Amino acid sequence: MGALDEGHCNGEVEGCFELGFEKEVETVAIEDAVKVLLQGLGEDVNREGLQKTPLRVAKALREGTRGYQLKVKDIVQGALFPEAGLETGTGHAGGVGGLVIVRDLDLFSYCESCLLPFQVKCHIGYVPSGHRVVGLSKLSRVADIFAKRLQDPQRLADEICSALQHGIKPGGVSIILQCSHIHFPTLESAFLASNHHGFVKMLVTSGSGVFENEKADIWGDFLSLLKFRGINVDKIHPRDSADKCWCPSQTTSKVGPANSGMTAAVSLILRSLGEDPLRKELLGTPNNFVKWLFNFKNSHLEMKLNGFVLGRMDALKSIGDDNIQSELNLSFWSQCEHHLLPFHGVVHIGYICSGGVDPIGKCLLQSIVHFHGFKLQVQERLTRQIAETASSLLGGDVMVVVEANHTCMISRGIEKIGSNTATVAVLGRFSTDPAFRAKFLQSIPNSATPEG
Amino acid sequence: MGALDEGHCNGEVEGCFELGFEKEVETVAIEDAVKVLLQGLGEDVNREGLQKTPLRVAKALREGTRGYQLKVKDIVQGALFPEAGLETGTGHAGGVGGLVIVRDLDLFSYCESCLLPFQVKCHIGYVPSGHRVVGLSKLSRVADIFAKRLQDPQRLADEICSALQHGIKPGGVSIILQCSHIHFPTLESAFLASNHHGFVKMLVTSGSGVFENEKADIWGDFLSLLKFRGINVDKIHPRDSADKCWCPSQTTSKVGPANSGMTAAVSLILRSLGEDPLRKELLGTPNNFVKWLFNFKNSHLEMKLNGFVLGRMDALKSIGDDNIQSELNLSFWSQCEHHLLPFHGVVHIGYICSGGVDPIGKCLLQSIVHFHGFKLQVQERLTRQIAETASSLLGGDVMVVVEANHTCMISRGIEKIGSNTATVAVLGRFSTDPAFRAKFLQSIPNSATPEG
């Protein structure tokens, strides 16, 4: 197999944006701010796992907000194609040129209230006019210009809609966004509602031209064509609703202002991204982001197992005759130390109850999971730490499976939105006997898959 | 909202690869070759829809094969992190460091037999060793180096496996790929098997280190963790199987060599991508690709409706009292004239049977769909043409919905793998009465969604 002699992008598979960003003053400023944040969390910025974290975070934030630098006209220009039969008059649903719809575009954006990424499933409709259509991929590219900024769902929908209306000048544009924002748990709230590892969801719409009136018949056509795709249009968020802000950071208890050095660092990050930290919607953002980070502060505490309350025994399930006990689907939250982005999912713990080992409660195991989760982590270490702590209580035969969604896998350069990771740790007889492993793995139900 | 003053990528949202590629001799050579192919199909390379097609195809092919220029070591370097507790000895499934799995990575690659893109769902496992783990996103980036080449599923799996084994030096690596290749219909075969709008599927595996032996217990652990994700491991393709080549171009009837100018042009494209057209697996590729293109040759034929056989009437469904007739899920195949890549899916046709109009058969409507599909097209035009032809037979009240998956949307720069498009054309009473549109749209079942 041959290879071109002169590669323009040798080794730079992460994309040119990173190449360009790396040495810019804005990137360096964000790096310095991230170091302040890490130090505020009690971390050693020189330890190996964290050395490149400031640069990674800076590049990710600049990549993730590159929409500020892009122009709609540069994308749409040259992608308008003449098509006969598309009427200028659009009173009749565009005549024979009808509606054009692109569905299920996966985007992600950054929440302007808390700086965490949120996922967007974007559906776009437009009615061609003036005898021309636009290349289908351009609808996605234009949407991405506005997704790659600090956003709120309704404004994102409105900006995409307005940009397409002005860029293509069609009969009308309709936008529906299904947005999913990660929860915002604290160690305390995670215990109170142990199973909220879903997402805060919001469904918003925007329309222009023939779609400007939300009661227009053409909305019915558009929604009918989306209903095939399993979208529940009854859940559309009313534009004039009182609960304007969807971000879960808004409902977290308002503890006073966080470390002022850290909030100043976040303000500096906002400015370096090209934003105005004094914009109304951004005023609370530094404090919200620092509050989020503080959930994962390095506490230097030894785990006090004696302090945990033993839970109900009837929650345990015994597998076959080998006395394998298991606790499945213990939720966890953690923060990736390489990217300062959340990862979350479920933990499954199996252990063997033989002479001298009593089964222990779900509550204690959930505590162990949260204790190791709420800090800067990597999934492999989290898995090992849970296994080791559990084994000290459970007699040494322990198997742990952690299934997680990593925000860094969906929002960084690779954008692998459906991907999911699993890590395994095995101790004692689980490491020597494949039959024990197989029995435990078979006990994990399909529904263990974290919501994507 | 502010904006950075100096954008490095103004307007170049398509990525720097295109920027770099645009003026290279290889790109220009591919452009010229694509012009030869378009002329061979009887097309006018200067008509507006085709003017930029040679450049688009050249950029897409070079982007899609950029893996030839990338090196594994540049990606893995700097992404290996120390983790305590991961044993060097891996005889016991890595000790407490166990298995690390990344599931459901969506990739795409180009089939070396026919030059069409194929989709890959990639699952990677490895057993950390030497007290170090690799950043999770690097597994995806390494896989993509080999996906972005002309490939065959088994070799792709083997190359990813070998690269990770040498790059990370773990206890072992396991790879499972679920590959989906578009069918290769001709106008004739499309009529014979009207519902094969699915894909040719192939499931392959590769293993090294502790995974080298396919019967090793650790494969059981890996497969158990994939079974949660709905993968049927019984369907794994045996490595030493006789039916080596999965590409449907191999089973298409061997009509003699195609236009030699066109096959020479494809050979030149292969060479410009950095491949050796004399490599054994590529010897038939130019002929296969030209055969595929010839399905979409501009025939300049007027449609001879008299030649069509009227089909069974009992296939028709009447909606309510308004005498709306519909034919749903008529499969279609077409070739996007902007990218020379297939798009395919289903067509739904509704019409009103009032005085003087008799319902017509499914076979006739399917013929109309195939007639307009098998050429260089855009989806909007296809929709309009089907509506206009149907209306000349059906009395003027016609509604057509085309639902399609565009290979260019998944394999070009934007890589929106789950996305799907719908276009609508309405004539007569369907354009003036929303109730008719709503009734027809409601009759389209959810299952109409083309397979993704």
Alpha-carbon gap, residue A423 to B390, rounded angstroms: 56
Length of chain B: 452
Residue A443: its H or E element: helix A434-443
Return all residues near A48 (Cβ < 8 A) that are at least 6 apart: B81, B82
Q: Which residue has the tokens 């959810």?
A: B446
pLDDT value for A301 = 53
User: Considering Cα of B355, then B361, then B366, then B371, what sign does the dihedral take?
Assistant: negative
Write the single-letter amino acid at B49: G
Are A87 and A50 in contact by the 8 Å Cβ rule? The answer is: no
Mean pLDDT of all residues in B368-389: 92
Query: CB distance from A91 to chain B under 8 Å?
Result: no
Residue B300 in tokens: 């300049």
* Residue B88 burial (CB count, 10 A): 12
User: Tell me: the pLDDT tens digits for B259-285?
Assistant: 889 999 999 999 999 999 999 999 999
User: What's the Cα-to-Cα distance from B306 to each of A165, B368, B384, rounded to whole Å?
Assistant: 44, 12, 21
Closest chain B C-alpha to A94 CA, distance in angstroms = 8
Write the single-letter amino acid at A247: C
A97, A406, A442: residue with CB nearest B224: A442
Alpha-carbon gap, residue A415 to A148, rounded angstroms: 13
Residue A418 in tokens: 């459906």
Q: Please tell me the pTM assigned to this model.
A: 0.87
Residue B228 in tokens: 């949660």
Alpha-carbon gap, residue A116 to A249, rounded angstroms: 10
pLDDT value for A323 = 82
Give contacts of B13 with chain A, Cβ < 8 Å: 70, 74-75, 141, 144-145
Contact A96 B387 (CB under 8 A): yes
Do the domains at B25-295 and B305-310+317-443 have one common CATH topology? yes
User: Tell me: the pLDDT tens digits for B285-338?
Assistant: 999 999 889 888 876 555 544 444 343 333 344 444 568 889 999 999 999 999
DSSP string, A39-94: HHTT--TTSGGGTTHHHHHHHHHHHHTGGGG--HHHHHTT-EEE-TT--S--TTTT
Query: CB distance from B348 to chain A under 8 Å?
Result: no
Return all residues near B198 (Cβ < 8 A) that are at least 6 apart: B183, B451
pLDDT value for B147 = 96
Give B183's pLDDT tier (boundaries 50, 70, 90).
confident
B75, B103, B380: residue with CB nearest A133: B380
Q: State the virtual CA torsion across B45, B49, B53, B55 in degrees, nearest 10.
A: 100
Backbone angles phi and psi of A445, in degrees to 5: -75, 160
User: Tell me: the pLDDT tens digits for A216-273?
Assistant: 889 999 998 887 666 777 788 887 776 668 888 876 655 555 688 999 999 999 999 9
Are A336 and A408 in contact by the 8 Å Cβ rule? The answer is: yes
Write the single-letter amino acid at B430: F
Closest Cα in chain A to B80: A49
Is residue B381's pLDDT more than 80? yes
* Residue A309 burial (CB count, 10 A): 8
Are B36 and B29 in contact by the 8 Å Cβ rule? The answer is: no
Mean pLDDT of all residues in B217-231: 84
Closest chain A C-alpha to B403 CA, distance in angstroms = 9
Residue spans per domain, chain B: 25-295, 305-310+317-443
pLDDT value for A35 = 97
Are B204 and B177 in contact by the 8 Å Cβ rule? The answer is: yes
pLDDT value for A143 = 96
- If one looks up domain B305-310+317-443 in CATH, what number appears? 3.30.1130.10
Closest chain A C-alpha to B185 CA, distance in angstroms = 24
pLDDT value for A358 = 63
Residue B203 in tokens: 């499931």
Are B304 and B367 in contact by the 8 Å Cβ rule? The answer is: no
Mean pLDDT of all residues in B240-250: 76
Q: What is the 3-state secondary structure (H, E, C) of chain B?
A: CCCCCCCCCCCCCCCHHHHHHCCCHHHHHHHHHHHHHHHHCCCCCCCHHHCCHHHHHHHHHHHHCHHHHCCHHHHHCCCEEECCCCCCCCCCCCHHHCCEEEEEEEEEEEECCCCCEEEEEEEEEEECECCEEECHHHHHHHHHHHHCCEECHHHHHHHHHHHHHHHHCCCEEEEEEEEEEECCCCHHHHHHCCCCCCEEEEEEEEEEECCCCCCCHHHHHHHHHHHCCCCCHHHECCCCCCCCCCCHHHCCCCCCCCCHHHHHHHHHHHHHCCCCCCCHHHCCHHHHHHHHHHCCCCCCCCCCHHHCCCCCHHHCEEECCCCEEEEEEEEEEEEECCCCEEEEEEEEEEEECCCCCCCCCHHHHHHHHHHHHCCEECHHHHHHHHHHHHHHHHCCCEEEEEEEEEHHHHHCCCCCCCCEEEEEEECCHHHHCHHHHHHHHHHCCHHHCCCC
Closest chain B C-alpha to A185 CA, distance in angstroms = 24
Return all residues near B284 (Cβ < 8 A) that are at least 6 apart: B113, B249, B250
Residue A438 in tokens: 């197989």
CATH 3.30.1130.10 fits A25-295, yes or no: yes
Max intra-chain CA distance, chain A: 83
Query: CB distance from B75 to chain A under 8 Å?
Result: yes
Return all residues near A33 (Cβ < 8 A) that are at least 6 apart: A265, A266, A268, A269, A272
A133, A423, A441: residue with CB nearest B224: A441
Closest Cα in chain A to B391: A96
Interface of A with B in 152-211 (CB under 8 A): none
3-state secondary structure at position A33? helix
Is residue B156's pLDDT more than 50? yes
pLDDT value for A31 = 96
Residue A124 exposure: Cα atoms within 13 Å on the Cβ side:
31
What is the rounded radius of gyration, in angstroms, for the C-alpha atoms of chain A?
Answer: 25
Closest Cα in chain A to B77: A11
Low-confidence ranges of chain A (pLDDT < 70): 1-20, 84-97, 192-198, 228-230, 242-244, 251-258, 299-322, 354-359, 410-415, 446-452
DSSP string, A248-267: GGGTS-------HHHHHHHH
Alpha-carbon gap, residue B171 to B78, rounded angstroms: 19
pLDDT value for B2 = 35
What number of C-beta contacts closer than 8 Å exist between A and B? 342
Is residue B164's pLDDT more than 60? yes
pLDDT value for B23 = 79
Closest Cα in chain A to B3: A274
Query: CB distance from A111 to chain B under 8 Å?
Result: no
Alpha-carbon gap, residue A350 to A324, rounded angstroms: 7
Closest chain B C-alpha to A79 CA, distance in angstroms = 9
Is residue B40's pLDDT more than 90? yes
Interface of A with B in 416-445 (CB under 8 A): 416-427, 431-432, 434, 437-438, 441-442, 444-445
Alpha-carbon gap, residue B170 to B71, rounded angstroms: 18
* Nearest of A159, A133, A164, A131 to residue A147 by alpha carbon: A159
Give contacts of A171 with chain B, Cβ < 8 Å: none
User: Tell me: the pLDDT tens digits for B98-112?
Assistant: 899 999 999 999 999
Closest Cα in chain B to A402: B100
pLDDT value for B322 = 61
Are B113 and B284 in contact by the 8 Å Cβ rule? The answer is: yes
